[in-house]
Chain A
Amino acid sequence: MLLTVTTTHQPATDLGYLLHKHPDRVQEFTQSFGTVTVLYPEATVQRCTVALLLDVDPVRLARSRGRNAPDFSLAQYVNDRSYAASSLLSVAMADVFSTARSGRCDSRQELADSAIPLEIEVPVLPCRGGPAIAHRLFEPLGWTVEAEPVALDDAFPEWGDSRYVRLRLSGVVRLADALNQLHVLLPVLDESKHYWQGPDEVDKLLRSGEGWLTTHPDADLITRRYLGRRGALTRVALARLAELGDEVEEAVEPAEDEEALQPAEKRVPLNAQRHDAVHRVLLELGARSVIDLGCGPGQFLARLVQTPSFTRVAGSDVSTRSLQHASRRLHLDRMSERQAERVQLFQGALTYEDDRYAGFDAAVLMEVVEHVDASRLAALEHVVFGAARPGAVVVTTPNAEYNVLYDDLVGMRHPDHRFEWTRAELAEWSEHVGSTYGYAVELHGVGDVDDTWGSPTQMAVFTRAEGSDD
């Protein structure tokens, strides 16, 4: 909510001309989310500082978002927007100093076109990625950067630093450039999810970035962050439940990527190998109808749909958000009637018996069982092997032994994993399930094989014993 710009270019009070704001006046501007005050705490020939104070009214902000705003959570009311230099400050500044940002100054055009010594201070700046990112973004623009982390709470030193830094920039820069850079980079550093975007946001970015953004070494990062996580679906109901459990919202996000903690170069090939292996098994089994239990956002499901020999394909997941992703991935709404008849997508939970699971030649449980509490596995076994009774069940799950080969991996591969099995543990479980429900089991490894630790993923293929029933 506070930003100061100081110049020592002489006469320093010319800053008033450049900003079109008189140094001896206190001016107030009204924004939809609060009021902006522009005043000069210092204005001498040697040194002149303008301060921009934004007074956000969180109550008004909350009200103006309407009753059905997607983010119906407490964070809407208790948040840092009244204090930190968030995207709101950027918007306010852009508006109040719009002429200065355009570089136009009828009375001092030459000065407006010149680089002048500037100091910019933002006492509380939300800085996603810590001080390092502030250095990385501002230094290529010619600034000397001081970014000092702010402690979370002095009384609890063990909590460490907050997400804020105190930012101080100094350099010789054209004022219009400096303001445009702040306008773009403040929201880029802000990790707030509350930044809203209109359809003209890209144009705005291009205008503000004129002359400096395209040559910035981190132009991609800036663009991506500035435009935010577009298209992220908000799930009102679930977010509310998450809050009740005192969990941060991320905790309920479904596991979209296994080996989430591994870098892409390890994660992606393993994922593909897993899909290949299961796909091959399904073809070898001669399955005509397949259900992907816990299909997630539908990567593997899409592959099943593309395989003509599968005449019926179903995907089920407990996450409605994943199902929406899957539906879009499969273009369900644009499928021909004939195609759509092959495919079913529905919400289901593997601990609840479900008639829709029944009647398939094969069921796939790819990287699913380890997301179920060990104490609830018996229910899953009953639902899949006892009640649905597909002809075959293909289970893949991490091989815990292999984890030693992952650099820096502490604990399990994904924060939502409830357990990870060794090869012996999977063998024991498969044996138990097979003998209880009348399935024969074969075990395989998936991925590169290590002589000692085996493969990263292990796979159990269950086939219903002959005559067991049908």
Chain B
Amino acid sequence: MTEAPTTRQVVVPAMGLVVLVGVSGSGKSTFARTHFKPTEVISSDFCRGLVSDDENDQSATPDAFDVLHYIVGTRLRRGLLTVVDATNVQQSARAALVALARSHDVLVDAIVLDVPEPVAIARNKQRPDRDFGDHVVARQHRDLKRSLRRLTKEGFRRVHVLPGTDQAEAVEIVRERPWNDRREVHGPFDVVGDVHGCASELRTLLTTLGWQLTYDGDTAVGASHPEGRQAVFVGDLVDRGPDTPGVLRLVMGMVAAGTALCVSGNHEAKLVRALRGSKVTVSHGLAESLAQLEAGPEDLRTQALEFMDGLISHYVLDDGRLVVAHAGLKEAYHGRSSGRVRSFALYGDTTGETDDYGLPVRYPWAQDYRGKAMVVYGHTPVPKAEWVNNTICLDTGVVFGGELTALRYPEREIVSVPAEQEWYEPVRPLAPAAGDREASVLRIGDVAGTRWLETTHAGKVKIPEENAAAALEVMSRFAVDPRWLVYLPPTMSPVATSKVDGFLEHPAQAFDEYAGWGVTRVVCEEKHMGSRAVAVIARDADAAERRFGIGDGTTGVVYTRTGRPFFADTTDLIDRLRETAAPLFDSLDTDWLALDCELLPWSVKALDLIQAQYASVGAAARHVLPEARSVLERAAARGLDVGGRLERVERRLVNAEAFRDAYAAYVHPTDGLDGVTLAPFQVLAAEGRALALTESHEWHLAELAKLQGDLVTPTRHRFVDLSSAAERDAATDWWLELTAAGGEGMVVKPAHLTTGRVQPGIKVRGREYLRIIYGPDYTDSLDVLRERHLGKKRQLAQREHGLGLEALTAFVDRAPLWKVHQAVFAVLALESEPVDPRL
């Protein structure tokens, strides 16, 4: 125990660039190794080795620095602290790195290792690979000396000069997060839009939100929320309105007490300059602020100046899920620090032009926004706060006689109070931020190419590029408007193969499988043989426009598994379905419904297929087999030994007849909608509720039982307690009956909600139905056919199910269209995976 070591703290940006500066032999690599992770340090020697196999090959230096800049740039883009280990004694080398940091909007520090020249020369002598002469170090040292004087003016945030030889041990590196990084603050928040001096409305809004104000005399000087909520102000507290000092006192009190955060608006920035005496154009309501502050006490002016000057341009909150900036912020700028980030946050993505009213034209960045974080902002007055791609503008023009608006986060609830009067005349009329149609535009990058999608229920799902390409073609050529397309049904796996004599599929395996997955009760639903149909219906044209953004008067769609409309015009069907589903609209208190159904009969949609594929095979079989029988009979009559051939032909003829009956059972004459029915079996979603996710099949079937009328074919079903052999047997008998009468079979699903990777449903198809899947004679080859592999089908079923739920949840949560579409599109893409089509 001797003297306490004198450790010098070196504060570097946690997300940014650190440039080491020092002559060869100054100990940069040792320093970097001591204080940073190996992956954080990119050295020029290392890059020289990468491109030339020789770390000292000076002729490779230009290429080595290309690689170094590329690696450093990539790391900075990804938000990683990066240390450059190169001599950097020349200004041009440092300038390139400073520019690189700027282009990624991160801070850059320099750490100078200033060791005496003889020390460096001595160190180099100990390294056999460094055979350059002493003059090199001497030259570098001269460069360094010259640099030291002007280093601070080269764009570094801080320059840390460490003189002497023992710096490596003597310093402690402190990583400092950017000021805008407040991800540890989780709220809940009340984000308040542009106040513009409307102190009275602000007090009313806060009171409405449940805040309790504290007063100093008549002046509100603070507020707290009994539930511990925090306020976040999007800036533009000042100017134009009647009481800028009142607003400032209240917000400053809240910020000081830690109950509020506030970002700077462009008006604060200008007011700061004005108060400091800079020459500014006094316009856009600045005069009012200046006059009001002039009339008030001197200390308020001082405090306000200090407060506004200290405001930063944006905050990243709640683990990065919420970003607040006055004029919004594109994703690449979240958490970054640079002049242009600040300028974006304060003024928006300006094009430099001005409009007819002399106001700056802004690029609608929100329409391109695809980020994960919710971005809340103000700045541009809009008549109503509306979501655009997970971003929302809260400036509803209170000072112009509109409203003062707050957003409750994470509830996504909008709370507004009206202006008490028009305090300031607007330069131009309020315009909607972005029309619905534009916000709904999808981009090719949302769907094309290989993609990994994160899902809650199926983990990370990979969508290969070639599947996406196929899906793009089908989606863009045939599918309904993507705004209606909130879901696509997943594929469903058959039951594990049965060993029961004469059967390929049998209920016993389904019950065993679910019991094995820990399911205690299942529902057996009749499987209708028709065409899978998803119906999305709005209560009326208003609801369609409000909720789906469809403004052409259409009130719903009925589409196929690939998103195609069933009929050229589904209006009639939609109208009838809406009428039929009236009880659901009421009981679910919703303006819209999405139903998963089967559309019957099969021949409505599949007549071409039935004729081209099934009826043709039937016709060929039923004409040729009797001829073959006759040939064999005549040969046998001649005394030839035809072996078992005659019996085989007889059996095949019986199979052919059965095959023909199997498809014919699903053919019914229809005329327009006459004869067409829907068999709904699940209520996918309604306003605010992703019912497919939250309710059991028991609930779904009970709700759907409320639907009456000609349009509906009920889905017969029964529940089975898997521990009861009697119930299993009864259900098996029921299945045998259904299929003997020409039914396709049944779907077995868990009756209660399940967790983990349980198949959402498995199908048990009837013996005769399977003839149209496996061929007329499949019953003669069961042994071969039993070797089927369900793994891939089941994996797809699980993934598509997860993606479907993701889409529904996103739509219900009012996520941006691209997000819903990405999941729906992924289902279609996965459907193009090659799997055994008989499964």
Q: A123, B627: Cβ atoms under 8 Å?
A: yes
Interface membership of B470, Cβ < 8 A: yes
Q: Encode contact with A along B212-238: 1 for CB under 8 Å, 0 otherwise.
A: 000000000000000000000000000
Closest Cβ of chain A: how far from B350's Cβ, in Å?
15
Stretch in A91-99, A134-142, A373-381 touching the partner = A373-381
Q: Encode contact with A along B426-465: 1 for CB under 8 Å, 0 otherwise.
A: 0000000000011001111011100000000000000000
Choose from A162, A245, A353 the contact partner of B560 (Cβ within 8 Å).
A245
On chain A, the residues within 8 Å of B444 by CB distance are: 348-349, 352-354, 356
A-B contact count (CB 8 A): 232
Interface membership of B423, Cβ < 8 A: no
Choose from A40, A68, A80, A371 the contact partner of B477 (Cβ within 8 Å).
A371
On chain B, the residues within 8 Å of A252 by CB distance are: 473-474, 477
Choose from A243, A244, A353 the contact partner of B443 (Cβ within 8 Å).
A353
CA distance A241 to B415 in the complex (A): 46
Given that A43-B638, A59-B785 are contacting pairs, would A351 and B443 also be in contact in the complex, using a CB cutoff of 8 Å?
no
Q: B617, A83: Cβ atoms under 8 Å?
A: yes
Instruction: Return the chain A residue nearest B605 by Cβ.
Output: A246
Choose from B443, B478, B606, B611 the contact partner of A152 (Cβ within 8 Å).
B611
On chain B, the residues within 8 Å of A17 by CB distance are: none
**Chain B contact residues: helix, strand, loop or mixed:** helix
Q: Encode contact with B along A328-369: 1 for CB under 8 Å, 0 otherwise.
A: 000000000000000000011111111010000000000000
Given that A162-B616, A353-B444 are contacting pairs, would A83 and B621 also be in contact in the complex, using a CB cutoff of 8 Å?
yes
Interface membership of A320, Cβ < 8 A: yes
Closest Cβ of chain A: how far from B834's Cβ, in Å?
5
Q: B775, A150: Cβ atoms under 8 Å?
A: no
Given that A241-B828, A352-B442 are contacting pairs, would A153 and B615 also be in contact in the complex, using a CB cutoff of 8 Å?
yes
CA distance A77 to B609 in the complex (A): 14
Given that A80-B616, A162-B615, A349-B444 are contacting pairs, would A4 and B631 also be in contact in the complex, using a CB cutoff of 8 Å?
yes
Interface membership of B78, Cβ < 8 A: no
On chain B, the residues within 8 Å of A57 by CB distance are: 781
Given that A156-B667, A238-B473 are contacting pairs, would A162 and B619 also be in contact in the complex, using a CB cutoff of 8 Å?
yes
Q: A246, B473: Cβ atoms under 8 Å?
A: no
Within 8 A of B (CB), among A1-58: 1-2, 4, 24-26, 37, 39-43, 51, 53, 55, 57-58
Q: A68, B624: Cβ atoms under 8 Å?
A: no
Given that A37-B645, A83-B625 are contacting pairs, would A240 and B617 also be in contact in the complex, using a CB cutoff of 8 Å?
no
CA distance A58 to B617 in the complex (A): 12
Q: A246, B773: Cβ atoms under 8 Å?
A: no
Interface membership of B531, Cβ < 8 A: yes
CA distance A74 to B832 in the complex (A): 14
Interface membership of A124, Cβ < 8 A: yes
On chain B, the residues within 8 Å of A43 by CB distance are: 638
On chain B, the residues within 8 Å of A76 by CB distance are: 837
Instruction: Return the chain A residue nearest B620 by Cβ.
Output: A83
Instruction: Return the chain A residue nearest B789 by Cβ.
Output: A67
Closest Cβ of chain A: how far from B223's Cβ, in Å?
44
Q: A244, B561: Cβ atoms under 8 Å?
A: yes
Choose from B466, B475, B774 the contact partner of A78 (Cβ within 8 Å).
B774
Given that A73-B837, A78-B614, A244-B831 are contacting pairs, would A124 and B552 also be in contact in the complex, using a CB cutoff of 8 Å?
no
Given that A237-B466, A238-B470 are contacting pairs, would A59 and B834 also be in contact in the complex, using a CB cutoff of 8 Å?
no
CA distance A349 to B443 in the complex (A): 9
Interface membership of B660, Cβ < 8 A: yes
Given that A42-B634, A244-B561, A244-B831 are contacting pairs, would A163 and B616 also be in contact in the complex, using a CB cutoff of 8 Å?
yes
Interface membership of B413, Cβ < 8 A: no
Q: A59, B781: Cβ atoms under 8 Å?
A: yes
On chain B, the residues within 8 Å of A242 by CB distance are: 474
Q: B615, A159: Cβ atoms under 8 Å?
A: yes
Given that A78-B617, A246-B609 are contacting pairs, would A41 and B471 also be in contact in the complex, using a CB cutoff of 8 Å?
no
Q: B638, A42: Cβ atoms under 8 Å?
A: yes
CA distance A63 to B838 in the complex (A): 13
Within 8 A of A (CB), among B773-807: 773-778, 781, 784-785
Using a Cβ–Cβ cut-off of 8 Å, how many residues does chain A contribute to the interface with B? 82
Interface membership of A319, Cβ < 8 A: yes
Interface membership of B715, Cβ < 8 A: no
Central interface residue in B614, B641, B774, B785, by most chain A CB within 10 Å? B774
Range, interface on chain B:
35 or more
Q: Encode contact with B along A187-227: 1 for CB under 8 Å, 0 otherwise.
A: 00000000000000000000000000000000000000000
On chain B, the residues within 8 Å of A352 by CB distance are: 442-444, 446-448, 472, 476
Central interface residue in B442, B444, B448, by most chain A CB within 10 Å? B444
Q: B837, A243: Cβ atoms under 8 Å?
A: yes
Within 8 A of B (CB), among A125-159: 126, 150-153, 155-156, 159
Instruction: Return the chain B residue nearest A69 by Cβ.
Output: B834
Interface membership of B642, Cβ < 8 A: yes
Instruction: Return the chain A residue nearest B640 by Cβ.
Output: A26
On chain B, the residues within 8 Å of A376 by CB distance are: 481
On chain A, the residues within 8 Å of B633 by CB distance are: 41
Interface membership of B145, Cβ < 8 A: no
Instruction: Return the chain A residue nearest B467 by Cβ.
Output: A237
Q: A353, B631: Cβ atoms under 8 Å?
A: no
Q: B628, A1: Cβ atoms under 8 Å?
A: yes
Choose from B446, B608, B620 the contact partner of A80 (Cβ within 8 Å).
B620
Q: B642, A26: Cβ atoms under 8 Å?
A: yes
CA distance A379 to B641 in the complex (A): 72
On chain A, the residues within 8 Å of B437 by CB distance are: 378, 382
Interface membership of B469, Cβ < 8 A: yes
Interface membership of A318, Cβ < 8 A: yes
Q: B837, A246: Cβ atoms under 8 Å?
A: no
Q: Encode contact with B along A399-415: 1 for CB under 8 Å, 0 otherwise.
A: 00000000000000000
CA distance A78 to B441 in the complex (A): 42
Q: B617, A40: Cβ atoms under 8 Å?
A: no
Closest Cβ of chain A: how far from B170's Cβ, in Å?
52
Q: Encode contact with B along A159-186: 1 for CB under 8 Å, 0 otherwise.
A: 1001110100000000000000000000
Given that A42-B634, A153-B619 are contacting pairs, would A77 and B774 also be in contact in the complex, using a CB cutoff of 8 Å?
yes
Choose from B475, B616, B625, B631 the contact partner of A51 (Cβ within 8 Å).
B631
CA distance A52 to B759 in the complex (A): 49
Interface membership of A272, Cβ < 8 A: no
Given that A238-B832, A375-B552 are contacting pairs, would A78 and B775 also be in contact in the complex, using a CB cutoff of 8 Å?
yes
Closest Cβ of chain B: how far from A423's Cβ, in Å?
24
CA distance A183 to B237 in the complex (A): 90
CA distance A168 to B664 in the complex (A): 30
On chain B, the residues within 8 Å of A281 by CB distance are: none
Within 8 A of A (CB), among B319-356: none
CA distance A243 to B609 in the complex (A): 9
Interface membership of A283, Cβ < 8 A: no
Q: A39, B609: Cβ atoms under 8 Å?
A: no
Within 8 A of A (CB), among B465-497: 466-467, 469-478, 481-482
Q: A354, B443: Cβ atoms under 8 Å?
A: yes
Interface membership of B732, Cβ < 8 A: no
Choose from A240, A245, A354 the contact partner of B834 (Cβ within 8 Å).
A240
CA distance A171 to B641 in the complex (A): 31
Interface membership of A79, Cβ < 8 A: yes
On chain A, the residues within 8 Å of B833 by CB distance are: 237, 240
Within 8 A of B (CB), among A411-432: 416
Given that A24-B640, A240-B832 are contacting pairs, would A124 and B624 also be in contact in the complex, using a CB cutoff of 8 Å?
yes
On chain B, the residues within 8 Å of A262 by CB distance are: none
- A-B contact list, 26 entries, CB within 8 Å: A24-B640, A53-B645, A57-B781, A59-B785, A80-B621, A123-B624, A150-B619, A150-B620, A153-B619, A156-B664, A162-B615, A162-B620, A166-B623, A235-B470, A237-B470, A241-B470, A243-B837, A244-B561, A349-B476, A351-B442, A351-B476, A352-B444, A352-B472, A353-B443, A375-B554, A379-B442
- 9 smallest CB-CB distances across A and B, nearest first, come from A349-B476, A41-B634, A237-B470, A237-B832, A83-B620, A246-B606, A123-B627, A162-B619, A354-B444
> Beyond the given A41-B632, A124-B620, could you list 8 further A-B residue pairs with CB under 8 A, ordered by the A residue number?
A26-B635, A40-B638, A59-B778, A80-B617, A123-B624, A252-B474, A349-B475, A353-B444
